[in-house]
Amino acid sequence: MKNQSSIITNAKKTILAESNAIANLANFINIDFENAVKYIYNFKGRVIVTGIGKSANIATKIVATFNSTGTPAIFMHAADAIHGDLGNVLEDDVVICISKSGNTPEIKVLVPLIKNYGNKIIAITGNIDSFLGKNADFTLNTYVEKEACPNNLAPTTSTTAQLVMGDALAVCLLELKGFTSKDFAKYHPGGALGKRLYLRVSDLIEKNDLPQVSENDTIAKVIVEISEKRLGVTAVVKDKKVIGIITDGDIRRMLSKTTKIDDFVAKDIMGKNPKTIHKDAMAVEALDTMENNSITQILAVDDANNYVGVVHLHDLIKEGIF
């Protein structure tokens, strides 16, 4: 068994080999790449991404990236394509073929069939002089000198290069389309990333109670309000407007100095001019305000600056935003 030192050395060699190969891809970005991007941007159909073996695995990820950034795409396995799945390819579609060698039997059969249909082919290949490279309408070079595999056999560096070239296409298309964070959120509504882009303060406060007291309420009432609403805080409100805030920390600090709570009312211990946030603000804005001010709750207000709720840090944690 190899010792720890050799394992770490091999890991670093792998990472450096792949990173150097990826950096070299920048030298292969040429007019074919530009024209491929422009063609995809201007056509009305979908992007069909195909490959075989490990290239097929990379194709599925590229499809996912295209779909999530506003470029409709589907995956078609190269072997299945020549046994019926060519029916997936419609008249206005463009086909991206991924193959390191560009000379696999399935690709040699598939490419002429696609061209007979009149569809354009974008090749992502490590061999631009291959059958695929010479017969594609646009050829994107993903040549790597060698695989990270010590036997130069297992697809490692070459598949990483394919993946990066696909990402480069997707990002260029994203920028051409003016794809925004709001567009991104439409395609990612279920995950934490999507929530950061669409979840608003109003979505959080509707799940919480509305703790509030008046400025002349007793400390006993303040304690009951904080305890019952279970948010660790209460707003001090006058004519629906926030004039102060009392946290459970404020109560503890007061009790550490005196136990004569009957001598005080809410306005005596409240924090004045508390931080507030509009109910239509993004939840992530509430998080930023909390972090910047070292607080765990923030009061929400509406257009008329009326008090409408509380956002607690726990709400953001529960939604996966923090």
Residue list, annotated binding site for Zn(2+): 77
287 CB burial (10 A radius; 0-12, 13-18, 19+): buried
Q: Looking at this protein, which amino acid is placed at residue 142?
A: T
Q: How far is residue 13 CA from its own chain's centroid? A: 29
Tell me the binding residues.
77
- Length of the chain (residues): 322
Cα→Cα distances 71→41, 46, 48, 94, 119, Å:
8, 7, 11, 12, 17
User: Which residues face 235 on adjacent strands?
Assistant: 212, 245
Cα→Cα distances 311→56, 160, 267, 296, 322, Å:
46, 43, 22, 8, 13
Take residue 290 and report the two structure tokens written for it.
């909390």
